[in-house]
């Protein structure tokens, strides 16, 4: 018989992480461990208050399906029993890993995917003053960063981007507004950002208030993050965004993420794979999806004071496998 263990942990950050909605010094994660016939599968999720999630609500969702899980619930059954979100993500990833272990395969082998030697990942520049963000960019470049993700709010947008571009002349830059540009005139702003070779802008307007993105031609690609959680969101976004950001915690795990990749391609939309703050256990589960992405942002573990197994290697702007 299968057994399920649920645990909640607070992971301190090595340094504060700031976005337009606030600053964090620690992240709370929920982990699921499944054991069957001596084989183990584990998954991790990060409950997000912005999506009305807490560690307690996620644990309660998981407890609500304990009987089904321990009596052999399948991945397909899980999709019907839990909605998209963090709880389903942790359990979905644990089931994928358990199924692979029962087959005496790695997750890559079970998915019939040959892993690459490495994957380029963004390194996030936390929201701060122009001077501190420029210093962080210089530090990242000195360590070999290839892709920087600039967290911005509605203040000093061009000043920060200009300073960071000067500090990182040869690095790919993407920008994440986290819904904070509701008061901006976006059409000229995107043209101005294009002059700094910004490769993409993520979620400039609040989710549900982004219809204006369909009213003009974008000078650079715009990516839906908070506006796009699961497959059911994609079709309505085609005239507003060029790209979607797939996060396992939003969509509910690897199963839905793989379906989102297929549907986005059908709709002619490009793909980014992102993450919430979390450990290597959470990031590793997203790597098979990252192979389909134009931009990958799986730098969660480098913000932690201490990582957790399987301890992915981050070096020279890449995750090394």
- The CA distances from residue 293 to 94, 145, 236, 250, in Å, are 23, 18, 20, 17
Looking at the DSSP bridge assignments, the partners of residue 295 are: 272
The C-alpha atoms of residue 135 and residue 13 are separated, in whole angstroms, by: 19
Catalytic (active site) residue 160: no
Instruction: Judge whether 297 is annotated as a binding position.
Output: no
| 244 membership: H or E segment, kind and range | strand 243-246
Instruction: Judge whether 225 is annotated as a binding position.
Output: yes
132, 138, 149, 151: the catalytic one is 151
Catalytic (active site) residue 151: yes
Instruction: Judge whether 92 is annotated as a binding position.
Output: no
104, 132, 138, 247: the catalytic one is 247
Looking at the DSSP bridge assignments, the partners of residue 313 are: 320
Distance from the first to the final alpha carbon of the chain: 33
**SS3 assignment, position 23:** strand
The C-alpha atoms of residue 96 and residue 74 are separated, in whole angstroms, by: 10
Number of neighbours of residue 253 by Cβ within 10 angstroms: 30
Binding-site residue numbers are 176, 202, 225
> Could you give the residue numbers annotated as active site?
151, 247
Residues of the binding site for Mg(2+): 176, 202, 225
């Amino acid at each position: 018989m299968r057994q399920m263990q649920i645990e909640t942990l607070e992971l301190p950050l090595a340094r504060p992480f700031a976005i337009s909605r606030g600053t964090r010094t620690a992240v709370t994660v929920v982990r699921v461990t499944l054991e069957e016939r001596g084989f183990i599968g584990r998954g991790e999720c990060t409950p997000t208050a912005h999506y009305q999630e807490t560690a307690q609500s996620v644990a309660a969702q998981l407890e609500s399906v304990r009987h089904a899980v321990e009596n052999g619930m399948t991945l397909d059954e899980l999709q019907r029993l839990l909605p998209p979100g963090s709880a389903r993500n942790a359990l979905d990833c644990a089931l994928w890993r358990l199924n692979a272990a029962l087959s005496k395969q790695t997750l890559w082998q079970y998915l019939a995917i040959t892993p690459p030697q490495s994957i380029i990942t963004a390194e996030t520049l936390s929201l701060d003053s122009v001077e501190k963000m420029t210093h962080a960019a210089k530090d990242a470049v000195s360590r070999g960063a290839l892709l920087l993700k600039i967290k911005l709010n509605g203040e000093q947008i061009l000043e920060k981007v200009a300073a960071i571009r000067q500090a990182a002349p040869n690095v790919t830059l993407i920008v994440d507004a986290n819904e904070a540009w509701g008061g901006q005139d976006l059409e000229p702003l995107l043209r101005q950002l294009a002059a700094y070779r910004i490769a993409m802008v993520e979620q400039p307007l609040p989710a549900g208030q982004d219809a204006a993105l369909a009213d003009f031609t974008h000078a650079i690609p715009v990516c839906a993050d908070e506006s796009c959680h699961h497959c059911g969101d994609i079709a309505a976004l085609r005239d507003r965004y060029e790209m979607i950001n797939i996060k396992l915690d939003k969509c509910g795990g690897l199963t839905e993420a793989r379906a989102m990749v297929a549907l986005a391609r059908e709709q002619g939309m490009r793909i980014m794979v992102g993450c919430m703050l979390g450990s290597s256990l959470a990031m590793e589960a997203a790597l098979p999806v990252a192979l389909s992405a134009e931009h990958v942002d799986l730098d969660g573990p480098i913000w932690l004071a201490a990582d957790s197994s399987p301890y992915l290697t981050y070096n020279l702007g890449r995750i090394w496998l």
